A = this chain, B = another copy of it.
Amino acid sequence: MSKVRTPKQHRGIQTKNRIMKAAFQLFAKKGIHGTNSKEIVGKAGVSIGSFYSYFKNKKTLLLEMLEDYLDRHYTTIWKPMDNFSIHELGRDDIKLIIESVFKAYDISPEFHRQTHALRYSDPDINRIYDRERNREVEQVKHLIENNITRLSVKDPLAAAIVIHNAVENVAHTAKFIGSKIDEKRLINELTDMIYSFFSKETTPL
């Protein structure tokens, strides 16, 4: 008999959702290490016993929440791109994607920041972030490959990783730390850099 309950009835599903919602708000507000399980169930209005019926432990809850969160994050970025003509990538297209990325962080910059902070110290968290990175890099790679004849990129995977890294970290700087300079200036220069990268074959300086 599995010790972790998978809710099938309405009440059970609701209970589990309430726990996740409460945890999400508390993690964002007080940090993951700053939130203990008593607080979560207190805010969720359920008992500590229920918590351990639905989640093996605190870590499991976090991982499940993170997967949910990153699915929403991914969808926010790439859903609008579905009907995209990706064969004629212009400067505006690049800018649009970058802006999409920046917007995706607004779901909950705090939760993103808190979990990302654990990425480099917790292998499980990293695994989930890695899966996310891989599918995002894959998307970037597709964009490059679909425009490859017009570009001189020799190593599409490496280029995709580099571009992804650049966008991700500029977004983090803007969203997590709050750069002293305006987000728009960062987006503009970032767009310029990536756009110029795509035309790098033409007469270098």
By a beta-carbon cutoff of 8 Å, the part of chain A in contact with chain B is 1, 3, 31-33, 38-39, 42-43, 91, 113-114, 116-121, 126, 130, 150-151, 153, 155, 157-159, 161-163, 165-166, 168-170, 172-173, 176-177, 179, 181, 185-186, 188-190, 192-200, 202-205
Contacts and interface: CB of A to CB of B under 8 A. Distances in A.
A47 to B, nearest CB: 11
Nearest to A184: B158
Given A33-B33, A193-B197, A203-B203, 4 more contacts: A3-B38, A120-B177, A162-B170, A165-B170
A interface: dominant SS: helix
A166 B177 contact: no
Nearest to A163: B193
Contact of A119 (B117, B163, B168): B117
Residue among A113, A150, A151, A173 with most chain B CB within 10 A? A173
Contact of A161 (B113, B118, B162, B173): B173
Stoichiometry (number of copies): 4
Nearest to A198: B205
A196 to B, nearest CB: 3
A193 B3 CA distance: 52
B1 A193 contact: no
Contacts of A113: 120-121
A195 B155 CA distance: 16
